[in-house]
Amino acid sequence: MRETYVRAAQLIRDAKAVLITAGAGMGVDSGLPDFRGHEGFWRSHPTIKNMLFSELADETLFDVSADTAWQFYGTRQQLYKNTQPHLGFYYLLNWLTQLNKPYFVYTSNVDGHFQKAGFNPQLIFECHGNINRWQCSKLCTSRLVDASLEEKQTIPPICNICGAVLRPNILMFNDRHFNYQSIYQQKPHYRQWLFQHESEKLLTIEIGAGTHIPTVRRQAEVSQGDLIRINPNEAMISTNRFGHNLPIPVPALEALTSINKVIKCP
pLDDT (tens digit per residue) in 12-41: 999 999 999 999 899 988 887 665 555 555
196 inside domain: yes
The dihedral through the CA atoms of 167, 169, 172, 174 has a sign that is positive
Q: pLDDT tens across 42-52, in order?
A: 555 656 777 77
| Predicted local distance difference test score (pLDDT) of residue 44 | 52
| Predicted local distance difference test score (pLDDT) of residue 71 | 86
Write down the pTM of the prediction: 0.93
| Predicted local distance difference test score (pLDDT) of residue 35 | 58
205 by Cβ neighbours in 10 Å (0-12 / 13-18 / 19+) ranks as buried
Exposure b/e, 234-259, CB count within 10 A at least 16 = b: bbebeeebebeebebebbbbebbbbb
Residue 172: which of 254, 249, 61 has the closest Cα?
61
166 inside domain: no
161 inside domain: no
Share of the chain above pLDDT 90, in %: 62
136 inside domain: no
Exposure b/e, 89-117, CB count within 10 A at least 16 = b: bebbbbbbeeeeebbbbbbbbbbbbbbbb
What separation in angstroms does the CA of 222 have from each of 197, 198, 200? 14, 11, 15
Range of the domain at 192: 2-32+83-128+180-263
124 inside domain: yes
Share of the chain above pLDDT 70, in %: 91
Cα–Cα distance, 223 to 229 (Å, whole number): 13
Please tell me the total count of domains within the chain: 1
Close Cβ partners of 152 (under 8 Å, ≥ 6 residues apart): none
Q: How many CB atoms lie within 10 A of CB 22?
A: 25
Residue 161: which of 182, 181, 135, 122 has the closest Cα?
135
Q: How many CB atoms lie within 10 A of CB 196?
A: 12
Give the CA radius of gyration of the chain.
19
26 inside domain: yes
Q: pLDDT tens across 201-234, in order?
A: 899 999 999 888 888 988 888 777 899 999 999 8
103 inside domain: yes
The mean pLDDT of 182-207, rounded to a whole number, is 93
Cα–Cα distance, 262 to 1 (Å, whole number): 12
pLDDT band at 265 (very low <50, low <70, confident <90, very high): confident
Task: Give 33-38 contacts, CB < 8 A, sequence gap 24+.
Answer: 35/76, 36/210, 36/212
204 inside domain: yes
Q: Report the Cα 153 to chain-centroid distance in Å.
A: 27
Query: Domain with 230 in it: what CATH number?
Result: 3.40.50.1220
